[in-house]
Amino acid sequence: MKRTRLRTLILGVTALALVAAVVAATASATSKQQKVTITFWQTMNAQETETLTALIKTYESANPSVSIDMTTVPFDQRETKFTTAAAAGTAPDVMRAEIADVANWAARGYLTDITSRVSAADRKDFLPAAFAYYNYAGKIWGLPQAPDALALLYNKKMVKAAGLNPSKPPQTMTQLTAWCKKFGDGKGIFLRGNEAYFTQPWVWAYGGGLVDIAKKQILIANSGSRAGMTAYKTLFNSKCALPNRDFANDYTNAMTAFKNGQVAMIVNGPWSTADVFQGPQFKSSANLGVAPVPKGPGGKQGSPVGGNGFVISSNSKNVAAAYNFISFLTKGPAQAAFAAKNNLLPSRISSYKIPAVKTNRTIVDFLSVMKVATARPVDPKGGQIYADFNIGVQRILKNQVSVPRGMAEIATAWKQKLWPTYTIVLR
């Protein structure tokens, strides 16, 4: 552990040194301005906030005409707090937004259009699936900072002991099932039942979908989506899967089982790795395998992309300075600091070439996941899909309804509550 902590410290110092260099380049944009204060609401956890605070101090030192007034907002309160303030004209200059917030807030007139400020080089450098959420109605409303996507996580020691090659994780759903059976009853994989988000890689892998905004179609009940959910349920109920009967606590149960070596595989995102490394099976971080969720028939693949980024409120009086600040926070050196100290994935392709990032094997492994990840529907109502999606998936996995009926119920709920003019596609 001491070696790991020393390595993290060295990487963190290196990343912050890079930050200091890049900050000097951005300082010229604000150095000639009058003294301004940028109000900034952010939603990071305590460890991430430490990194953010250090970055802000570096930024203010290089930009003496700018002061950052930072407030930490609990993640689950961000939407209510921001929309209430925005409606009253008192929103902060800069807000850290979850990806589903962006189109919603932009459609309500709460955000500043920054299209003209984002260079062609920046647009090309952001990971496409991460940047997609900040493009709505033909305009750009923010910059991605810390994207994420679900991956197949596996215990390399258990894989070796089962006679499998940890350097060659399953590439197809058929191979995943074959791997699962190699570990014995209940030891292959733990699949979640409480959140539909974790079933989406299967929906896409089998040719299904959620919603086609352009065609005004609801796809969650089509043949591909039904096939994907059927495949998920089959693996969920298989003998090689650790039984999941406590849906309300299944995230914690999955993590505990994985960390203790009770199960060889789980599906989770990069946010989980810090916790994984606290487990007895992963005292050596090298024991963690990370791979994209396998492909389905026809080679289809893609985990849902989540994450956070920065937006500027429409009532900001300091848009130029605010953009300079969020640009700094999403440049490679700042992203390298978050990667080295907090294991947050960079949103820029070029950031993965920075030494402090390249030496973080877990981050690099997740890049392969992000490259095949799939953006969810970019729509003001996109964040509301999970209320009925979660219920439908739970009913299916508890055998309360068949897969076709359960998926049809989800589609009907979406049509009634979210997209009444859309057509439900069943074929």
E strand or H helix that includes residue 403: helix 403-417
pLDDT at residue 27 tops 70: no
In this structure, are residues 65 and 30 in contact, taking their beta carbons and an 8 Å threshold?
Answer: yes
pLDDT at residue 9 tops 90: no
Report d(CA 380, CA 322) in Å as an integer.
24
Average pLDDT over residues 364-369: 94
Instruction: Retrieve residue 56's tokens.
Output: 């802000």
pLDDT at residue 70 tops 50: yes
- Given this structure, which CATH class describes domain 151-303+385-424? alpha beta
Instruction: Retrieve residue 351's tokens.
Output: 């950031």
The pTM is what? 0.89
Report d(CA 142, CA 100) in Å as an integer.
12
- Residue 83's φ and ψ, nearest 5 degrees, are -65, -35
- Give tens-digit pLDDT for 44-66: 999 999 999 999 999 999 999 99
Do the domains spanning 2-149+305-371 and 151-303+385-424 agree at the CATH topology level? yes
CATH, domain 2-149+305-371, list 3.40.190.10, 1.20.210.10, 3.90.1150.10, 3.40.640.10: 3.40.190.10
- Those residues whose C-beta lies under 8 Å from the C-beta of residue 279, and which sit 6 or more positions away, are 255, 258, 259, 260
Q: Please state the domain extents for the chain.
A: 2-149+305-371, 151-303+385-424
pLDDT-derived band at 356, boundaries 50, 70, 90 = confident
Report d(CA 232, CA 241) in Å as an integer.
11
Estimate the share of the chain in helix, then strand, then coil, as percent rounded to the nearest 5: 50, 15, 30
Cα torsion at 34, 37, 38, 42 (round to 10°)?
160
- Give tens-digit pLDDT for 277-328: 999 999 999 999 999 999 999 889 999 999 999 999 999 999 999 999 999 9
pLDDT at residue 21 tops 90: no
- Give tens-digit pLDDT for 223-276: 999 999 999 999 999 999 999 999 999 999 999 999 999 999 999 999 999 899
Alpha helix stretches (DSSP H) within 63-150: 78-87, 99-107, 120-125, 128-131
pLDDT at residue 2 tops 50: no
